[in-house]
Amino acid sequence: MTLSTQTMTDEQRKALILEYFNTFDRGGIRSTGEPILSLFADDCMVWFPKWGLAKGVDEVGQMFADLGSTFEWIDHTTSHLNFVFSGGTTVAVEGLTRGRHRDGDWQAGRPQWGAGRFCNIFEIWDMKIQRLHIYLDPDYAGRDTDRYPWLARELSAAR
């Protein structure tokens, strides 16, 4: 990773993170017309469950293309994001999503155990995302229930 040369405020980091979520919701095109990858450092690292660690903008682009091909649309509820600033370059962000995945629709809280809640850990400096780890349940449509006895019981009781 590159060495930091430009001081950033927490508000600047927050603005960049909001641009990231809004860009993702617009299908990867920033408000400036640039692609989402312009928010990332050339040597960035991004981790997503069931995909793994992407290193550099080319691999991150492939990861986003792979993930994006499974969605019809997604909405990060940016008005309800919870930002936790470290006092340094790291920012944790909790939030909610809803959308339409190739396996079906989802919305945070419907059902309570389902997909839609996330926590992302960003490292940001020099006005770029250097590292991003995305923590969430990638079973957007809630189909992976047989392996969890408490979910299987709940679903059979509801039938």
Q: Residues 35-42: contacts with CB within 8 Å, 24+ apart?
A: 36/64, 37/61, 37/64, 39/128, 39/129, 40/128, 40/129, 40/130, 41/1, 41/2, 41/126, 41/128, 41/129, 41/130, 42/2
pLDDT of residue 156: 76
Domain membership flag for residue 49: yes
Model-wide pTM > 0.85: yes
Write out the residue range of the structural domain in which residue 53 sits. Answer: 10-158
**Exposed / middle / buried, residue 95 (Cβ in 10 Å: 0-12, 13-18, 19+):** buried
What does the alpha-carbon distance between residue 152 and residue 159 come to, in Å, rounded to a whole number? 11
DSSP 112: T
Instruction: Give pLDDT tens digits for 39-93.
Output: 999 999 999 999 999 999 999 999 999 999 999 999 999 999 999 999 899 999 9
Instruction: Give pLDDT tens digits for 99-123.
Output: 999 999 999 999 888 899 999 999 9
Domain membership flag for residue 5: no
Percent of the chain clearing pLDDT 90 (strictly above): 75
- Count the domains in the chain: 1
Evaluate if residue 4 carries a pLDDT over 70: no
The torsion of the CA quartet 11, 15, 17, 20, rounded to 10 degrees, works out to -170
The torsion of the CA quartet 140, 28, 62, 136, rounded to 10 degrees, works out to -30
Evaluate if residue 2 carries a pLDDT over 70: no
Domain membership flag for residue 51: yes
Tally Cβ neighbours within 10 Å of residue 77.
15
| CATH number, position 135 | 3.10.450.50
Domain membership flag for residue 45: yes
